[in-house]
Structures are given as C-alpha cells and as structure tokens.
C-alpha cells in the first residue's frame, strides 16, 4: 500500500513516515498542496494524509478539488482545529477521517489501517482467492488450502498486489510503484529478490509454481 503525506512541518512529516514505514507501507511526502495535486492523479496512492493548514492552497481546498475532479482516494485530515464545525466542514468537503493535533502515532496507524480496509468492506468480501490461495486483507492472513503461511509485511504487500491482479502480467516498474515508495531504486533487483522470497514459501505447497516469470515482461500470479 502506498501513502502520500502532505505536511509542511518537516518534523511531523518525518515522524509519520518513520512510523508508517515501520509498518511496511510505501510512503512519499510533499510540503504543499500544489505539489500534491498532480501526484494524486498520476501516482497510484492508496491513501492521502493531508494537513489542513498548508502554505498556499490549504489542505481543505485540495481535498475539495480532488473530489470535484473525481478522485476517490481515502483522505485522512490532520489539523489543530478541534471545533465540531471544523470537523463537519472537513468531512463535508470529502475527507474520510479526521485526526486532531497533537495525536498519538498508534492512533494514526489504527486510522490508516481502518481507511485502507474500507474498499474491501464495501465489497463485503475482504478475502482474495486465487485457486487454493486465499488472502484475508483485514488480518493479512495467507492460507493455501488449510495451511497458514507466514509472510513479512513487505512480502505480504507484494503478494496482495499480485493477487489483486492475478492472471495479469505485471512488470517490475509497475510492481515497484505500487509496493515500494519513490525512494526505492527502480534499477535495483529488489522486486526479483522479494519474488524469490515468496516462491520459497509457496512453491513447496503446489505442483506448479503460482508465480510465473514471463520472460521480458514481468511476473504473473496464477491459480495452480
């Protein structure tokens, strides 16, 4: 999952990045709404953490603008405003949740998790199935048949992305842009290394590999 933080306070932004990366989210940060706006529409973000008070265009104006342009990316609004009227304004403008500064980082992480679960809840099925392989996106539990398989957070994020797009060939740049943040080196072998990690845990359970290499194109997750 990839998250964009729009926060002009460098210290707060860095603290949020550190906590979310520890949870294995891919995180980018910009300091202004003007920097954020084109990224929201050009990059595959799963969540926007947006400070209300920004230099230039405010966070609330950015939220309203991207909603008018059709963006449905979940928005978590950060603000020092604690009045009920302000919260109502933020939610009415299109924010999905609201966190008042100063806040506890554990609460921030919990709200992020809740917002990222919402699409699965809306479809009433948080489970992704590819043949006998199932992923519960609420609990990040992976099973093959009745056997539970343990994955590190980044491995799980990669497997979930492959599973959501099963039977589709995904190239390395596509995978990198969705599972890692912009600081990842696109010319490294990070994707290939993590694919090997997944295969070590999956291949012993199946007759045929679940993750296939499509020469010159990328990787594809298929039912056995």
What is the tens place of the pLDDT at every residue in 47-72? Answer: 999 998 899 999 999 999 999 988 88
pTM of structure = 0.62
Give the residue ranges of the chain where pLDDT is below 50: 120-124
CATH code of the region 2-120: 3.40.50.2300
Rounded CA-CA distance 184/118 in Å is 27
Domain parsing of the chain, residue ranges: 2-120, 127-221
CATH code of the region 127-221: 1.10.10.10
pLDDT at 123 (0 to 100): 44
pLDDT at 124 (0 to 100): 43
């Amino acid at each position: 999952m990839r998250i964009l933080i729009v926060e002009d306070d460098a210290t707060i932004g860095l603290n949020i990045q550190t906590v979310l990366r520890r949870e294995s989210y891919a995180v980018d940060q910009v300091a202004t709404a003007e920097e954020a706006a084109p990224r929201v529409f050009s990059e595959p973000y799963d969540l926007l953490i947006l400070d209300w008070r920004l230099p230039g265009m405010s966070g609330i104006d950015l939220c309203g603008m991207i909603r008018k342009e059709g963006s449905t990316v979940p928005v978590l609004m950060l603000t020092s405003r604690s009045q009920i009227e302000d919260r109502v304004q933020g939610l009415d403008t299109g924010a999905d949740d609201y966190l008042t500064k100063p806040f506890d980082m554990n609460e921030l992480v919990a709200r992020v998790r809740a917002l990222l679960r919402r699409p699965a809840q809306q479809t009433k099925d948080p489970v992704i199935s590819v043949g006998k392989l199932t992923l519960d996106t609420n609990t990040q539990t992976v099973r093959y048949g009745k056997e539970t398989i343990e994955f590190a957070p980044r491995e799980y994020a990669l497997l979930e992305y492959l599973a959501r797009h099963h039977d589709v060939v995904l190239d390395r740049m596509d995978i990198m842009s969705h599972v890692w943040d912009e600081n990842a080196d696109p010319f490294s072998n990070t994707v290939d290394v993590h694919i090997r990690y997944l295969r070590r845990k999956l291949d012993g359970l199946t007759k045929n590999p679940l993750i296939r290499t499509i020469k010159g194109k990328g990787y594809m997750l298929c039912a056995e």
